Amino acid sequence: MNKPLILVVEDDPSVRNLITTTLKTNDYRYVVAPNGSTAIMEATSHNPEIILLDLGLPDMDGVQVIQTVRSWSNAPIIVISARSEDNDKIHALDAGADDYLTKPFSVEELLARLRVTQRRLALMTAEMVTASSVFVNGKLKVDYAGGCAYLGEDELHLTPIEYKLLCLLSKNVGKVLTHTFITQNIWGRSWDNDVASLRVFMATLRKKLEPTEESPQYIQTHIGVGYRMIKVN
Ligand code: CA
């Protein structure tokens, strides 16, 4: 896998150093920006493949950076937030961020998120998800054109909502989808009731999809945030 160019947006010098040192020792190329306006400028001039974005910036809200960059770029954005910024993190995901890291994070976590994002990038580049009418992930196969899904040789018997959920997750494989994003896509609205129903549908979908409840292979829960389909190797 070619190492992508990463834009690091972080105003705190110690966190920025931790990130750039990690990137350097792992042969990633990077450019840095200490605030939002520089970030937008660097994103325009360097066209980075991945953006690591701190949400608490001195000159503007990180969500604003996402909205601006999203108007011309699909580059995956991983937001970095403090625990106190949980709501900001959800707004950031709804604004088009792909994933998040919560401070304080370890070097291993950072590298793991980058690997997930690179896999997603590889899929986006190959247009395997958008161009193909069949999605394959490990033993899971979703036939969008046929409107059915299989686990190995066995057809999954899904209700219409479970199938819609599976399609939405698989079309966004690798990306964290918020409860709001999912409920708006499934029901066209997002009420508290819908989030509660979503949990129920997700539980029944997983029962059919996951080999064991204890160690889910395909769908990851992000407590208080949403769900992500994992790209199985
Ligand atoms: Ca900050």
| Dist. CA 160 → ligand 1 center (Å) | 43
Residue 86's pLDDT band, with cuts at 50, 70 and 90, is confident
The pLDDT tens digits of the residues spanning 145-204 come to 889 999 999 999 999 999 999 999 999 999 999 999 999 999 888 787 888 999 999 999
The pLDDT tens digits of the residues spanning 106-135 come to 999 999 999 999 988 887 766 555 556 889
| Dist. CA 147 → ligand 1 center (Å) | 45
Burial of 211 (0-12, 13-18, 19+ CB in 10 A): exposed
Instruction: Provide the token pair at 113.
Output: 């998120």
| Dist. CA 101 → ligand 1 center (Å) | 13
d(Cα 78, Cα 166) in Å, to the nearest integer? 23
Burial of 68 (0-12, 13-18, 19+ CB in 10 A): middle
Ligand 1 ion: nearby residues, β-carbon < 5 Å: 11, 54, 56
| Dist. CA 55 → ligand 1 center (Å) | 6
The pLDDT tens digits of the residues spanning 52-64 come to 999 999 999 999 9
- pTM for the full model? 0.81
- β-strands 219-222, 226-229: how paired? antiparallel
| Dist. CA 183 → ligand 1 center (Å) | 31
| Dist. CA 154 → ligand 1 center (Å) | 49
Burial of 139 (0-12, 13-18, 19+ CB in 10 A): middle
| Dist. CA 226 → ligand 1 center (Å) | 24
| Dist. CA 19 → ligand 1 center (Å) | 13
Residues paired with 221 in a beta bridge: 227
